[in-house]
Amino acid sequence: MFASHRRDRILELLQRDKQVLVKDLARMFQVSEGTLRIDLRILEDEGLLERTHGGAIPLKQQPAFAGDSRDPSRSQLNSEEKQAIGRKAAELVHDGQCILLDASSTVLELAKGLTGHNYLTVVTNGLEAATTLNRNPRNNVILIGGVLRVGSRTVEGVLGKDILSGIHADLFFTSAEGLSVQEGMTDFSLHEAELKKLMAANASRTVALVDHTKLGRRSIASSIAFGEIHALVTDDKADPGFLKQCKSTEVLIADCKRR
């Protein structure tokens, strides 16, 4: 079982039982208690549960987990900033270009801002982004093959690498769980990180869409090295100290107040 699938299952159990214990989860999933503690810490960092001594409980006023994946909960976090970043990133796209999009909630906001663009070739592993852009018949949308994450709108894995190897994209738009100068862009899922590496390798420019809460943070799996990011689009709450370190990276600031 992929780690992302295990964490989805943990959230399902938490909503059903209102409490989970590390020792019970370790026995159920046949992994170590240390691995489960990491899972719970990651889910807590995402704002999806509250850890307790020996386990976890749901967050107060947390939306019910109805088998619709963790993505809706993620998309509700910093939604204003993500929408502003998506609008700003859309300014980089021109009709007729070939672009690669990951399956993140921030890049989905970019996709929503591209519905008026024409003659785009869009390659993505995000089902919702693909559906959004496919509404314009003048665009050509290619969905990367792979494993559909349980209860999710994300295709995971590198089964689509043959498709990517034949594509030469102008831009790759990607987000992450963290961005630091030392580790670059990092994610919770190793499979997701590997796919992003392949996507970046087949694009002329990589554009990172990262809100202020993720700057300076790091997660488990590295995807894009900091030096391989050509442009960073973030919001107007970004730490100036972090931005000063982006000397070789173009930085675009999205205005959260503008609609």
Q: Residue 28 above 50 pLDDT?
A: yes
Q: Residue 69 above 80 pLDDT?
A: no
Average pLDDT over residues 194-204: 94
**Which regions of the chain does DSSP assign to beta strands (E)?**
20-21, 50-52, 55-57, 98-101, 121-124, 140-143, 147-148, 155-156, 169-174, 178-180, 184-187, 203-209, 221-224, 231-235, 250-254
**Which pLDDT score is estimated for 72?**
46
144-193 residue pLDDT tens: 877 776 556 777 766 777 888 889 999 999 999 899 999 999 987 788 88
Instruction: Say how many C-beta atoms besides its own lie within 10 A of residue 18's C-beta.
Output: 9
Contact between 221 and 193 (Cβ < 8 Å): yes
Lowest-pLDDT choice from 17-21, 98-102, 229-233:
17-21
Every domain of the chain and the residues it spans = 3-65, 75-254
**Which pLDDT score is estimated for 136?**
94
- pLDDT exceeding 90 applies to what percent of the chain? 62
Query: Does this chain's domain 3-65 share its CATH topology with 75-254?
Result: no
Lowest-pLDDT choice from 50-54, 76-80, 201-205:
76-80
**Which pLDDT score is estimated for 63?**
42
Average pLDDT over residues 94-102: 97
The CATH label, of 3.40.640.10, 3.40.50.1360, 3.40.30.10, 3.40.50.1820, for the domain at 75-254 is 3.40.50.1360
Average pLDDT over residues 127-154: 85
What's CA 116's distance to the chain center, in Å?
A: 23
Three-state DSSP state, 181: coil
Q: Residue 64 above 60 pLDDT?
A: no
- pLDDT exceeding 70 applies to what percent of the chain? 90
Give the angle 246-188-22 at the CA atoms, nearest 5°: 140
Q: Residue 74 above 90 pLDDT?
A: no
**Which pLDDT score is estimated for 179?**
96
pLDDT band for position 68 (50/70/90)? very low
Q: Residue 214 above 70 pLDDT?
A: yes
What's CA 246's distance to the chain center, in Å?
A: 21
Q: Residue 67 above 50 pLDDT?
A: no
**Which pLDDT score is estimated for 65?**
40
- Strand ordering across the sheet containing 221-224: 178-180, 184-187, 221-224
**204 phi/psi in degrees, rounded to 5:** -70, -35
pLDDT band for position 1 (50/70/90)? low
**Which pLDDT score is estimated for 135?**
92
Mean pLDDT of the chain: 87
Contact between 191 and 156 (Cβ < 8 Å): yes
The CA–CA distances, whole Å, from 150 to 95, 147, 214, 256 equal 34, 9, 25, 33
Domain 3-65 CATH assignment equals 1.10.10.10: yes
